[in-house]
Amino acid sequence: MARHAVILAGGQCKWGVREAHLVDLFQEAAKACFDDIPTLKPKDVDGLIVASSYAGRCSFQVNTAPVIAERVGVKPTSICTRVDVLCAGGSTGIILAKGLVESGVADIVMVSGGEKLYTPQKWEVFYSELASVDHDWDGTNGMGLPPPFFSLTAQEHMMHYGSTKEQLAAVSVANYNYAATNPVAQMQKTLTLEEAMNAPSVVPPLTLYDCCPITDGAAVCIITTDEIAKKFSDRPLVYIRGTAQVCLNSVSANFPGAHLADWKHTKMAGEKAYKAAKVSPGDIKVAQTHDCFSISEVIEVEEFGFCKKGEGGEFCGSKQIELGGKVPVNTDGGLLACGHPFGATGIRQGIEMLKQLQGRARHQVNGADIGLTHNLSGANAEHTVLIYGREPVK
């Protein structure tokens, strides 16, 4: 009989500026995950995947997976490993866990991700980010620092498609207001369009609220099969219907689109995931996209087919990303307001999708039965997409 992967449970710690070690954050998130399904115990978990890119640099802890396994009380017998693809680490871990449980190599895999990015010397983490891209080529020219790169992207989109600063601000307003009632989000405040428009400039046209913050945090989820999941919970099953990961370049000079606002690799990843999941853009009821900057969400809603290419600004500005809109996006606050501890973000997205499709989300989307999550990594080089659904692929 075919084994179908599902996301069974999930939890995260409070994200933000934390006076805690990386391992503490993982422990808090693991407890929240087990609290989500009290019948599931650490002894039931046979596999562990840890997503973290800065564990060695900021927390001085390499070979992270065995350390996390022992500290959260699991004893892996099928897999115990770490993945490092920066912002896509959590999503990549879920993809790998799906393959492991569907192939029968593992039965219950914990996918955990987290970063401790705040350091006493604040400049350290920005200096370290120059290693997130090809250090010899882009890093030495400052392209590893995200705001300048995405400023150029925003300028390109404005030039080619006529998007406006007000439309970018609308993304920030929507996501901050989603996060205002999220107790584990980094930014728990409402935001008005006027506040967003008048915020201090970071790199024009991007202002403070157009940029996601540096974040300490961790998130944990459990991936297993549908049959095993039924032994632990009577909640509706949430299947991982299809996945895709596309990487067409690393160096920014080899960007695959016609210009920086043409995200060919995002579109390709979306199309591959849709095909694997046997769905179309019109089937997506809720999405969690990689809003590291407001312009990212504007372009992502285009490339995933929620609107026509070039119309992302109008789509977001007309509140189509809010509850009641065509496709509510980043309904827990996204990267802009929840924060972005790189390896944890894809897992946070998966947890929000779990809750949305089970009807227990804080900002519940009516009729949510198919959802999409997405991460980009590096200098907009790698794109990772997962499609979740209430039914398996048939």
Name the residue with tokens 């907009």: 380
> What residues does 112 pair with on adjacent strands?
50, 220
Choose among 209, 201, 195: nearest CA to 333.
209
Choose among 306, 300, 261: nearest CA to 159.
261
Is 87 known to be catalytic?
A: yes
Q: How far, in Å, CA of 380 to CA of 394, rounded?
A: 33
Element (H, E) at 327: none
Contact between 153 and 159 under an 8 Å Cβ cutoff? The reply is no
- Cα 246 to chain centroid distance, Å, stands at 15
**4, 265, 290, 340: the active-site residue:** 340
Q: How far, in Å, CA of 362 to CA of 286, rounded?
A: 13
Give burial (CB, 10 Å; 0-12/13-18/19+) of 394: exposed
Count how many residues are written for the chain.
Answer: 394
For residue 378 the two structure tokens come to 């590096």
Q: How far, in Å, CA of 327 to CA of 378, rounded?
A: 26
For residue 141, give the DSSP letter.
Answer: G
Choose among 247, 238, 221: nearest CA to 110.
221
**13, 33, 87, 292: the active-site residue:** 87
Cα dihedral across residues 386, 389, 391, 394: positive or negative: negative
Choose among 271, 264, 272: nearest CA to 248.
264
Q: How far, in Å, CA of 159 to CA of 60, rounded?
A: 44
Q: How far, in Å, CA of 311 to CA of 297, rounded?
A: 12
Question: Phi/psi zone of residue 50: left (φ > 0), alpha (ψ -120 to 50 degrees), beta?
Answer: beta
Angle at CA of residue 98, ends 364 and 218, nearest 5°: 60
**Residue 106, SS3?**
coil
Name the residue with tokens 């009577």: 234
- Which residues are catalytically annotated? 87, 340
